Structure 1
Amino acid sequence: MIAEAGLKGWATPMSDKQAYEKGIEQNFEYWGAEAHLAEYLSSSNYNRVGTSVKYDHTTEPSATFSVKYKDAYTGANGTAQIAYPSNTIYKNGTVKNDKLTKIITQKYIASFPYLPLEAWSDHRRLGLPFFENPAVEQPIATMPQITSGNYSKNQLNFFPQRLRYPSSFKNADQANYDKAVTFLGGEDQIFTPLWWAKKQ
């Protein structure tokens, strides 16, 4: 969070780069992986969405990356060019490797799996970190907005808007539960925006 604040020019106790690298260092220390820290911090290799680790490496990746594979039927080795996905929520998909993508990607890695709501909040406000949707082979009853025709796109309405009210609330106070649901203007579901949320 200090790295993001520093990047925005806010008053911080260290620079954005120092905070970024310190955060990664502390995460490596937590997991006992300090031996790999220097190599990791200097890596300009792109991940599967086109973001590298090295803070000052902001060169955008090419449109595709090469992967090697072995055909399971013939046993033949081959290569394929895979397109980087387009994160249209963040800067209309034009940026994959700026400093903010690095900061939020490393924040996500450091907080996984303990702070999923933090990652959800970052994704809602920034579109970062970016995740590809899985292929949809049949309709998903609880997520009707994702279809086999649009799963490869990135849309705000693909992401949960809220947590459902706990069942204990409904069981203990049906009248006020019903009143709370009316404020939503829709059903008590994860894709119904909060009543005070800005409508898209």
Structure 2
Amino acid sequence: LTDLFGPVPMTEAVNGEAGNLYPAFDSQQLIYETILADLERANTLYDQDLNMVYAEDILFANDVSLWQKFTNSLHMRLLLRISNRTETNAFQKLTAMINDPETYPVFETVEESAVLQVTGVTPNISPWGRPQDFPLGVKMAAFFVDNLNVLEDPRRPIIQTGAQDLDNNPIGYKGIPSAYAGPESQFEFNASTLNRAQVENPMQIFLMTYAEVEFIKAEMAQRGYTTNAQEHYEAGVTAAITQLGATTTEAYFDNPVAAFDGSLEQILLQKYYALYFVDYQQWFEFRRTGLPQLPTTEAMLNDAMMPSRFFYPSDVQISNQANYQQALELLGGPDNINTKVWWDNN
């Protein structure tokens, strides 16, 4: 929530039964400091010699070691998120975690990732009630498709359908520019759309993946804090492909476009694809880094600037007005999509 809006209720949240229906807001800095402290403490509480006393959980089937790895993997994500705030010493804390895997174990395989397995058995069903609606009115963006084509990436048929010419002949995978001017009829082909199989039961909902952990390590190495950037980059790419059910070989990296060139841009482009279908993480990462460099057009709204946050819901403005005004003071700007949150000082 705080990455979406900025200041949100935390210390007074979830107190409706106690009569507090209009909670105060907390600063994003305090929220992050609290969450990071909680994750640090949680890591010290796991005891793999004790069985969990509850019924089998839906993420890790009561595997204590995987819950600990999830805790530390999430800790890494959030430290990297705030790393542009140099006063947090986030890079130094991340370095210490990476260099001490015995104290801070993290995901080490695709199978260990935090993934909700949607079985299709009520109530564990796809959030898309009508999977056939998933691709309606949606065309794949040329930037997204073109990079995968150059990479000869095996994820293409899993993510999207093939494009067709106007005679319905297949022409491979092809997208259209984001926010183009003029009618869609200007394109003399039918562009690729989203593959509806992605939201049909059974399906997977990614919360935090091993691939993301490897890309965090790759970025840290590329920035000079740790080592083995190429090893982590290749592990991240391979894991990202595998998590979607595709397969890759070492030949994938024989492609000059896929071969590691040492740049942060390349790491974050592949991380962009690894975060496909991982809630809002692509957007959060773009706000943190400005990467990958997404094309813009004159037809885009907001002067072609990527939004920095969501508006607060209108019911907050109406029903919790005093605390809404306090939230704007903590935010440090107007309630619009261009006001940056605390960690977003890129």
Q: 2:240 aligns with which of 13, 27, 33?
A: 27
1:109 equivalent in alignment to 2:273? yes
Could you state the TM-score of these two structures normalised by the residue count of structure 2? 0.33
Q: Does 1:41 find its partner at 2:249?
A: no
The answer (yes or no) to whether the contact 1:28–1:37 under 8 Å persists in 2 is no
Q: Deviations over 1:68-97 (max 9, x none)?
A: xxxxxxxxxxxxxxxxxxxxxxxxxxxxxx
Distance in 2 (CA, whole Å) between partners of 1:109 and 1:176 is: 38
Quote the residue 2:282 is aligned against: 119
Matched to 2:322, the amino acid is: A
Instruction: Quote how far apart the aligned CAs of 1:16 are.
Output: 1.0
- Distance across 1 between alignment mates of 2:344 and 2:250: 43
Residues 165/112 of structure 1: CA separation in 2 closer, same or farther (3 Å cut): same
One-letter amino acid of the structure 1 residue matched with residue 230 of structure 2: K
C-alpha distance in structure 2 between counterparts of 1:105 and 1:199, whole Å = 21
Which structure has the larger Rg over C-alpha atoms?
2
TM-score by length of 1: 0.55
Query: SS of the counterpart of 2:255?
Result: coil
Cα distance in 2 for partners of 1:5, 1:198 equals 19
Following the alignment from structure 1 to structure 2, what is the Cα–Cα distance between the partners of residues 31 and 199?
A: 33
Amino acid across the alignment from 1:18: E
Residue 335 of structure 2 is aligned to residue 188 of structure 1: yes
CA RMSD of the aligned region, Å?
2.8
Using the TM superposition, give the Cα deviation of residue 197 of structure 1 relative to its aligned residue in structure 2, in angstroms: 6.6
- What amino acid is aligned across from residue 100 of structure 1 in structure 2? L
Amino acid at match of 2:258: V
Contact conserved, 1:101 with 1:128, CA < 8 A, in 2?
yes
Q: Does the CA contact (< 8 Å) of 1:3 and 1:20 recur in 2? A: yes
Structure ranking higher in helix proportion: 2
1:161 aligns with 2:308: yes
- Cα distance in 1, alignment partners of residues 345 and 254 from structure 2: 41
Deviations 1:154-186 (Å, cap 9, x if unpaired)?
A: xxxx12222222334324311111232345454
Distance (Å, rounded) in 2 between the aligned partners of 1:121 and 1:31 = 21
Q: Does 1:178 align with 2:325?
A: yes
Distance 1:111 1:125 in 2: 14
Q: Is the contact made by 2:288 and 2:344 (CA closer than 8 Å) also made in structure 1?
A: no
TM alignment of 1:9-88, pairs within 5 A: 9-11=224-226, 15-34=228-247, 36-44=248-256, 52-55=257-260, 58=261
Aligned to 2:249, the other structure's residue is in SS state helix
Q: 1:134 to 1:39 in 2, by over 3 A?
A: farther
> Of residues 279, 288, 294 in structure 2, which corresponds to 1:131?
294
Structure 2 gap segments, 5+ residues each = 1-215
Is the CA contact 2:287–2:344 (under 8 Å) kept in the aligned structure 1?
Answer: no
Give the partner amino acid of 1:112.
Y
- Shift of residue 112, structure 1, vs aligned partner: 0.8
